[in-house]
Structure 1
């Protein structure tokens, strides 16, 4: 447990440093390759006006958090982010939604014991492939934090046949070897389970919505 906590802290520190510059250009540039973010939220099969609880892991600038708040106007939303600069941007972006949307500046899992079985949906949007090697631990924790019948939603990079592109993404802390999809499929009942091509096959991304049994 101590080693896992240390690894989580080191990962958070690394991401905080990486996003000091990236946060300034994130929303201007990410639209061109972070595909499927809006669609995966629309694919979550929950009543739009229900009083539900949603958690987002790795909210970045709050792009997805804002869409979640608009899509589910009665939902209580909690969003985790390790980058100080990203948290500042996200907090301003979701401020109009008031107290029902909370941005938390810490790694997901630090207060996990108090959240088990609370959430109707948990979203990971282009975060898991950057969380290495802890991605599996976070998905296991998410499964604990979901209610029975709740949904996990994941959109992320999947794989690439182009070695140069994998190397390029590796330099940006992104792992691309198709590792997420089998784990998701084995631990959640698939509702949406798609692999899509980007830029004429340079890479693939996954869109997955699964139900906790």
Structure 2
């Protein structure tokens, strides 16, 4: 199965299998290279005193959900992930926030009517580069789920000048060729885009804010 031609169902099955082990070590290892997660939450242009509705797609172990719940104390937050192992970890992480944070184990896909025009913000944090070739349909669904003027926020890998590093990341289901930010800029109203180097420029990551 090619990671660039896999069906959505095959992609979801691959992610579920990948995170059987990874869910156990995710928080112990990802801090070393998932940069920008705290910053993208701080940059969200939302009223912190208002009852916002926020969706995170690919919520993993709940790291970002905790950040969101603390920063937006009146928000109702939903985290989606295809991995039951990650959802199990996330449920422990968000327990202090009670019913303000809801978790759902299911894929996010085009045509989903659960959140149509209801969300003030949709966050993708290090998930889109792992969703191939279906990343575009997820961004299209996010557009449908956002209220008019709602906020799209993305923090993710961007690119690397080293073919060996791209190959290494590809073996871990990650596509790195600066494919996300131009599409977002073209299909949403741009607010901000920041690209930063990691480990002396071995790779770059980006943080992007846009509106519907």
TM-score (norm 2): 0.95
Where 1:92 maps in the other structure, the secondary structure is: helix
- Is the CA contact (8 Å cut-off) linking 2:110 and 2:141 kept in structure 1? no
Where 1:19 maps in the other structure, the secondary structure is: helix
Aligned Cα RMSD in Å?
Answer: 1.2
Structure 1 distance, partners of 2:91, 2:59, is 10
TM-score (norm 1): 0.94
Structure 2 distance, partners of 1:64, 1:26, is 13
Q: How many residues align?
A: 207
- Is the CA contact (8 Å cut-off) linking 2:81 and 2:87 kept in structure 1? yes
1:109, CA displacement in angstroms? 2.8
| 28-37 or 112-121, larger mean C-alpha shift | 112-121
Determine the structure 2 residue equivalent to 1:18: 18
1:111, CA displacement in angstroms? 7.3
Determine the structure 2 residue equivalent to 1:54: 54
Q: Which sections of structure 1, spanning at least 5 residues, go unmatched?
A: 1-5
Determine the structure 1 residue equivalent to 2:200: 200
- Is the CA contact (8 Å cut-off) linking 1:76 and 1:101 kept in structure 2? yes
- Is the CA contact (8 Å cut-off) linking 1:197 and 1:205 kept in structure 2? yes
Structure 2 distance, partners of 1:60, 1:23, is 8
1:98, CA displacement in angstroms? 1.1
User: 1:179 and 2:179 equivalent?
Assistant: yes
Deviation digits for residues 109-160 of structure 1 (CA, Å, limit 9, x no counterpart) = 3772232100000000000000001100000000010001110000000100
Determine the structure 1 residue equivalent to 2:113: 113
User: 1:151 and 2:160 equivalent?
Assistant: no
| 189-198 or 6-15, larger mean C-alpha shift | 6-15
